[in-house]
Amino acid sequence: MVTYIVRRLVTAVLILFGASFLVYQLTALSGDPLADLRESNLPNKDALMQQRIENLDLTTPAPIRFFKWLGGAAQCIVPFFGRCDLGLMLNGEPVTQALARAAGQTILLITAATVLAIIIGISLGIITALKQYSTLDYSVTFMAFLFFSLPIFWIAVLLKEFGAIGFNDFLRDPQFSPTSIVIGSAFVGVMVVLFMSGTWLKRIIGFAIGAAVTAGLMVLLSVTGWFTNPGLGPILIALTGAGAAYLVTQLTAGVQNRKALYSALIMVPIGLVGYYVLNPMFGGITTLGIVLLAVGAILVGCAVGWLMGGFDRGQSMRAAALAGFLIAGIVVLDRFMVEWPNYFNNGRIRGRPIATIGASTPNLEGNWWIQSLDTFTHLLLPTIALVLLSLASYSRYSRASMLEIMQMDYIRTARAKGLPERTVVMRHAFRNALIPLATLVAFDIGGLIGGAVITERVFAFTGMGNLFVASLAPIPDPNPVMGVFLIVGIVALVFNLIADLVYSVLDPRVRVKA
Amino acid sequence: MTTANPVTPSGQAPEEPSAVVLKEETKGLSQGAIIRKRFFGNTPAIVSMVVFVGIVLLAFTSIGFAGIPGWWKYNHTGFTGQVNGGAPTFVHLFNWGDHPFGQDRIGRDYFAMTMRGTQQSIMIMFVIGAVGGFIGVVVGAVSGYFRGWIEAVLMRLVDVIIIIPLLLLAAVLGRIAGQQVQGNAATIALGVFVGLIIWTGLSRLVRGEFLTLREREFVDAARIAGASNTRIIFKHILPNAVGVIIVNVTLLMASAILLETGLSYLGLGVKAPDVSLGSLISNNQEAFTTRPWLFWFPGLFIVAICLSINFIGDGLRDAFDPRQKKFNAKKAKDRGVHGSATAANVKPSGTTPVQGSGGTAQPGTGQP
């Protein structure tokens, strides 16, 4: 195993060396760095040209310039040397600095999108595989193909127009019109029908109930002015928390397991107590506080499950921990809603919260809640766009993988020995269906770091893709291009290695060759 | 240890019912005929094919191509006076008006521009498919068949190219291509350059296919019969790998069209005054509130082309590799009812003899 990893790493270094040489030469070849000055009629044209020639070191041939650059870049891999020289940008800023800033933005942009796409995509794939050849299956398949065929810049403009500008206009006077109530409730009704199975009568009843509930909710939200002053309150927290606890138990242990169900439900009053006790401390909270809250909720859940006892404590602990995590999330969500009017009426926001460009509002003052809300409203649209695009491949792959698994002999065995369908699906099929997806996820993360170029451009994120294109297009400047390439290439190689190793850990039939 | 297997003597019904069910698929058709039949039975794929051919015909006949004039009265560069504030005059299918897709800010006919963009996208797509497909197949076939140091070298080359992000490499190469030539030649050069780097995934798939096929008996037989390497590759292995190749080249083309529009959007693909679907959207996205049609039409054409190619690819995959098309319980049930009354007995009759023989021959193991 160690031999294998070492051999892979050595190959990776060689590949990286070859590829970086290639990229450097291509960048140098890609255009005339003096083109704009040649055509200009500035009086100090010659001096400017001379300066740029010196900055870019154009008197040295490109292959030799590469090795000069490599001499500086090689210092980065020497540990504890404290020096990392990737050269200077055209404006004199060190590439390492610009790169650190850009990488931060890119990671901010893709993290939430990747996690959401994986969760939603895999759930959709599993559900459609279990309901193969149903209306739901066909519609999800069609949607997957459609999203797969959408250019991101096109969908981004649509999102900006209808998601941001339209929603902001709506927030000025948050009353649903009768038409939108009809459309909204019909939409929810159709969704209910798609997820249901059974006779047509059952489906019609499902449609009616779904549509009626939605219409009632929309009217209620309009009348109470919920959108200007949102919030959940203790009663709604308790209700949604109980729902979440029930759902989590159903998925992890099955509601027949009373101990697990009760330990998950016990988390609801604990969450409410925490809500009142912690509320005064929420004002000055930081990211660390939120992480501690999440960890605390999980630990309390584990403790409750353990104290419930019974023959299988693990199941109760798992159910209670997950329920605790979700309830803590609901409490935090409520707190965000309480802060919403402050954010909405902030002088820098002026009642148009959903942003179309950038990663944050400049010069926005406020506590952690306000700042997080600001990040959230800026990330909302690019995240939706990225999720829609990567959703397609995840749902397709997980569907195919799940279908393959459901035909296996051990699934038949599991059913034959009388296991409930939930256990068969969640424990025998689902886990095995995830194995091929682990590699896909690893490859995807490797590719996404460099692949969000267009998304960054559309939403004016100054991330790595933007840095790359900006240093390539008018004046080719190899240093930042190489910096971006190094990060993208190293991440891709490392994740490829991780993918291979994870595969052999998850699936003992696959052994790595030493 | 012996699990008492109830050996039912009723399991004498032979497997005729399933034979009845499968009859229509095994009626002595050639491989090609079976595949064609499966493909033409796939409604979404056929609809997509019709849509795609329609778009190609519309794009290439309307404004003409490579000097051959088309039936549309304007071209994508000529200025026509502003009519109707540039709004689309399309009324219905037989009344297009003067400018069915409207006009852009400076009064060029937008239908002609969209058609020119569609031409560019389709041209680039086919060039990328041909170049990328050719290189991918050759590299994959050679490394999969010959193994050894050839495979090592070629696969390291694939590793080098694959870690360079596609968009980044295409941007550099597309820029070089755009500086050397103009017009249709520039478009083709862009396609060739992108094709030069997009083949890596395909070559890995083809290599994998060749690695399994070269160990098969028919290859040994051919080798013993004295066939040369060239003959084995072209006559014996390639026809068996053609399904993988066709399907993946189709999907390659679908991603190529998005790559091209993305490049043009970033200003690295097709250069002005020529237009592509991507550059049309890029130039007009600010005008969305005032002239939304400038944004809608090219976008709809991209989506239509890409969607139809994807569906065709999916249909081809189902046709070439029926393992991918999973068992449809509903259809099988319908077929069973029509096929034979004994269809319900298929399962027990199929399994019982195996269990029976296992139980009697090796009573100690209990493992059928």
Q: What is the pLDDT of residues A104-162, one digit of tens each?
A: 888 888 888 888 988 999 998 888 888 877 788 888 888 888 888 888 888 888 888 88
Tokens of A108: 């901010």
For helices A478-506 and A2-29, give the axis angle rounded to 10 degrees: 150
Q: Per the CB < 8 Å rule, is B156 touching A15?
A: yes
User: Contact A8/A497 with Cβ under 8 angstroms?
Assistant: yes
- Shortest CA distance to A485 belongs to which of A8, A27, A10, A136? A27
When pLDDT is cut at 50, 70 and 90, the band that residue B6 belongs to is: very low
Three-state secondary-structure class, residue A359: coil
Reading the block at residue A133, the tokens are 């050849």
pLDDT of A512 strictly over 80: no
Query: B203 and A56 in contact (C-beta within 8 Å)?
Result: no
Residue range A390-430, pLDDT digits in tens: 888 888 888 888 888 888 899 999 999 998 888 888 888 88
A485 touches B: beta carbon within 8 Å: yes
User: Residue B224's pLDDT is what?
Assistant: 92
Which of A17, A153, A396 should be substituted to probe chain B, the one whose Cβ sees the most B Cβ atoms within 10 Å?
A: A153
The dihedral region occupied by B226, where left means phi > 0, alpha psi between -120 and 50, and beta the remainder, is left
pLDDT, position A30: 72
What tens digit of pLDDT does each residue of A29-47 get? 777 777 777 777 777 777 8
pLDDT digits (tens, 9 = 90+) for A278-336: 877 777 777 888 888 889 889 998 988 888 877 778 888 888 999 999 998 888 888 88
Tell me what the mean pLDDT of segment B257-278 comes to: 78
A430-482 pLDDT, tens digit per residue, is 888 888 887 778 777 766 765 677 888 888 888 888 888 888 777 778 888 88
Query: Which of chain B's residues have a Cβ under 8 Å away from the Cβ of A23?
Result: 164, 168-169, 172
- 3 state SS of A79: coil
3-state secondary structure of A1: coil
Average pLDDT of the residues of chain B: 73
Give the integer Cα–Cα distance in Å for B156 and B267.
Answer: 32
**How many Cβ pairs closer than 8 A exist between chain A and B?**
131
Q: What are the tokens at A21?
A: 């040489």
Residue B320 reports pLDDT greater than 70? yes
How many Å lie between the alpha carbon of A285 and the closest alpha carbon of chain B?
Answer: 40
Coil, strand or helix: which one is B324? Answer: coil
Q: Is the pLDDT of residue B359 over 50?
A: no
Residues 125-184 on B with a CB inside 8 Å of A are 156, 159-165, 167-169, 171-173, 175-176, 179
Residue type, A428: H
Distances in whole angstroms, Cα of residue A63 to Cα of each of A59, A336, B320: 12, 55, 47
The pLDDT score that the predictor gives to residue A403 is 85
Q: Do B307 and A489 touch (CB under 8 A)?
A: no
Are A459 and A164 spatial neighbours (Cβ–Cβ below 8 Å)?
Answer: no
Q: DSSP string spanning A444-480?
A: HHHHHHHHTHHHHHHTT--SHHHHHHHHHSSS--HHH
Residue B233 DSSP code: I
Res. B346 pLDDT band, cuts 50 70 90: very low
Q: What region, left, alpha or beta, does residue B272 occupy, with left being phi > 0 and alpha being psi -120 to 50 degrees?
A: beta
Contact call for A469 and B288, based on CB within 8 A: no
Res A471: pLDDT: 82
DSSP state of B271: P
Residues 275-304 of B with CB under 8 A from A: 278, 281-282, 285, 288-289, 295, 299, 302-303
**C-alpha angle A263-A269-A275 in degrees, rounded to nearest 5:** 130
Distance CA B93, CA A295 (A): 62
Using a CB–CB cutoff of 8 Å, tell me whether A149 touches chain B: yes
Residue A84 has pLDDT above 80, yes or no: no
SS3 A88: strand
Contact flag B169-A26 (C-beta cutoff 8 Å)? yes
Taking alpha carbons only, the member of A31, A369, A179 closest to residue B180 is A31
Taking all residues of chain A, what is their mean pLDDT, rounded to a whole number? 82
What's the complex ipTM?
Answer: 0.74
3-state SS track over B81-127: CCCHHHCCCCCECCECCCCCCCECCCCEEHHHHHHHHHHHHHHHHHH
In this predicted structure, what is the pLDDT of residue B183? 67
Q: Find chain B residues with C-beta within 8 A of A151's C-beta.
A: 258, 261-262, 265, 278, 281, 299, 302-303
Q: What is the pLDDT of residues B183-235, one digit of tens each?
A: 677 778 888 888 888 888 888 888 888 888 888 898 999 999 999 988 998 88
Nearest chain B alpha carbon to A129: B326
Read off the tokens for A269: 């009053």
Is B171 exposed, middle or buried (CB count within 10 Å of its CB: 0-12, 13-18, 19+)?
Answer: buried
Question: pLDDT at position B10, please?
Answer: 42
| Rounded-to-integer distance, Cα A381 and Cα B160, Å | 34
Which residues in chain B touch residue A29, judged by CB atoms under 8 angstroms apart?
172, 176
Interface contact A146-B303, CB threshold 8 A: yes
The reported pLDDT for the residue numbered B182 is 66
Position B12 confidence tier, pLDDT thresholds 50, 70, 90: very low
> Over 90: is that where the pLDDT of A96 sits?
no
B337 to chain A, any CB pair closer than 8 A? The answer is no
Q: Write out chain B residues lying below 8 Å of A31, CB-based.
A: 175, 179
What does the pLDDT look like over A161-187, one tens digit per residue?
887 887 888 777 777 778 888 888 888
How far apart, in Å, are the Cα atoms of B71 and each of A335, B57, B62, B178, B262?
A: 64, 12, 5, 29, 30
CA-CA distance, B344 to A477, in Å (whole number)? 72
Q: Which residue of B has its CA nearest to A446?
A: B163
Residue A357 gets which letter from DSSP? Answer: S
**C-alpha dist (Å) from residue A138 to A117, A143, B46, B65, B319:** 20, 9, 17, 39, 18
pLDDT at B327 over 60: no
Q: How many CB atoms lie within 10 A of CB B19?
A: 12
N- to C-terminal Cα distance for chain B? 12
Decide if B262 and A153 are in contact by the 8 Å CB cutoff. yes
Beta bridge partners of B103: B109
Please give the DSSP secondary-structure letter assigned to residue B23: G
Q: H-helix or E-strand containing A172?
A: helix A166-172
Q: Which of A453, A472, A498 is nearest to A102 (CA)?
A: A453
Q: What percent of chain A has pLDDT over 90?
A: 3
The model's pLDDT over B19-30, given as tens digits with 9 standing for 90+, comes to: 455 555 556 777
What gap in Å lies between CA B224 and CA B201, rounded to an integer? 33
Q: Are B75 and B63 in contact (CB under 8 A)?
A: yes
Calpha distance B39→B27 (Å, rounded):
17
Q: For residue A16, which residues of chain B lie inside 8 Å, CB to CB? A: 163
> What token pair was written down for B160?
């080098």
**For A396, which residue in chain B has the nearest alpha carbon?**
B314
Residue B357 reports pLDDT greater than 70: no
The burial of A122, by beta-carbon neighbours within 10 Å (0-12 exposed, 13-18 middle, 19 or more buried), is given as buried
Phi, psi for B95 (deg, rounded to 5): -135, 85
- Residue B27 bridge partners (DSSP): none
- Residue position matching structure tokens 């809300």: A373
Q: Which range scores top for mean pLDDT: A368-372, A374-378, B232-236, B288-292? A: B232-236
Give tens-digit pLDDT for A246-288.
888 888 877 788 888 888 888 888 888 888 888 777 777 778 8
Mutate to test the interface with A, among B168, B176, B247 (most CBs of A within 10 A): B168
Q: Which residue has the higher pLDDT, A173 or B123?
A: B123
Peptide bond into B273 cis (omega under 30): yes
Distance from the Cα of A424 to chain B's closest Cα (Å) equals 19
Distance, in Å, from the CA atom of B154 to the CA atom of B214, rounded to the nearest integer, reads 18
Can you give A22-41 as a three-state secondary structure string?
Answer: HHHHHHHHCCCCCHHHHHCC
Which residues of chain A from 324 to 363 reach within 8 Å of chain B, CB to CB? none
Model pLDDT, residue B328: 56
Residue A250: predicted pLDDT: 84
Mean pLDDT, residues B104-129 taken together: 82
Least-confidence region, from A51-55, A376-380, A492-496, B68-72: B68-72
B323 touches A at CB < 8 Å = no
Q: Is A67's pLDDT higher than 80? A: yes
Residue B134's pLDDT is: 92
Residue B99 has pLDDT above 80, yes or no: no
Q: Residue B312 in 3-state DSSP?
A: helix
Contacts of A119 (CB under 8 A, 6+ apart): none
